[in-house]
Amino acid sequence: MKHFILIILAVLMTSCIAASLNACTQEQDVLQQPTSEPTQENIEQECERLDPRCLKQLTVDPAQDGFPSWSPDGEHIVFSRYGGDNAPEKTGLWLVSPDEGEPRRLTTVIGEHPDWSPDGRYIAFDGDYGDSIQMVPASGGPPVRIVPDSIPVSSGGQPKWSPDSSRIVFKEGSNLWVLEVSSGRLEKVFSEPGKRLLPTCWSQDGKEIYVNLSDTENENASIWAVSLSGESKRKVTPEEESVYRYADLSPDGSLLVMVWCEGGDCNLWVMPSAGGPRLQITSNSKYDDGPSWSPDGKRITFVSTRSGNFEIWTVEVDVEGLRRELTTLGE
């Protein structure tokens, strides 16, 4: 009997040890498994500046996509797609949801630099390979030309809507023009001979226009705020010799997102709209450009070549966190 009891105890101990080892192995397996993809809720809670989880790719196509602009309700992003000779049927303006999904086509004509009116009714854009400025209903339909031949727009006018949707600013050569949409009245508001200029956005109160001014002899470019009367201008970006590109204003008017290039690397940076220190919000060894801020201020859409082609992306931003960091940098 004693011998039998010892055998039973040995079996039980062996079983317990095996079970313990098995449980330990399962625990290690769980620990070693990769963490699951973060949900949108987790991203919103954990997303920090330069966190790669903040990024989302919206388009994947062999055609080249660019120049995104948000709808005022935040439900869509309009962008330009160019299919070239291999896929001319893809060329035009397209719409995509910021929450992913298949893009749908808005126009069949080539369009660049689209800008959605704040009232949501129209989209202005550069047509005819940059030789005309056109407008199309946001619901679709035939585009119409809105700037006459008497103003020779070429290489793109970069149209931008005013905050009240009543005017459009655009460039012609070294001149900045404002079109009153309802009447068709045109006014030259600013001129900088010997400079290349690009209108990028309006101030929140509609009294200033942010423009990119660049030298014709080199690549140096800065962001300036020009008064609507053209009588005054102020430099927003600090460096004399640097390369800035497109910019856009946050919905509350406090921050400016812009593209800053170092060598061949172009990334998105944020700074106070009045000027001051800046913070980097994308990090890419290739090319990020054309930022457009979402109406709720939580995301920025832009074009990037980080996937190997020109595609539309978004990045989550924490505006309050950015303000805190910028305030600390400015102290």
**So what's the pLDDT on residue 116?**
98
Over residues 258-273, the mean pLDDT reads 92
User: For residue range 128-160, what is the model confidence (pLDDT) as tens digits?
Assistant: 999 999 999 999 999 999 999 999 999 999 999
The continuous run of DSSP H or E covering 221 comes out as strand 221-227
- The rounded distance, in Å, linking the Cα atoms of 29 and 25 is 6
Question: Please, what is the Cα angle at 327 between 326 and 331, to 5 degrees?
Answer: 115
Beta bridge partners of 259: 268
The continuous run of DSSP H or E covering 177 comes out as strand 175-180
Beta bridge partners of 318: none
Structural domains of the chain, ranges and CATH numbers in brackets: 58-330 (2.120.10.30)
Residue 298 has pLDDT above 80, yes or no: yes
Burial class (CB in 10 A: 0-12, 13-18, 19+), 198: buried
**So what's the pLDDT on residue 40?**
45
pLDDT confidence band for 46 (50 / 70 / 90): low
**So what's the pLDDT on residue 42?**
43
Residue 35 has pLDDT above 90, yes or no: no
Which range in 212-221, 230-239, 253-262 is most confidently predicted, on average pLDDT? 253-262
User: For residue range 89-131, what is the model confidence (pLDDT) as tens digits?
Assistant: 999 999 999 997 899 999 999 999 999 999 999 999 999 999 9
- The rounded distance, in Å, linking the Cα atoms of 308 and 286 is 9
Residue 80 phi, psi dihedral angles, 5° rounding? -95, 135
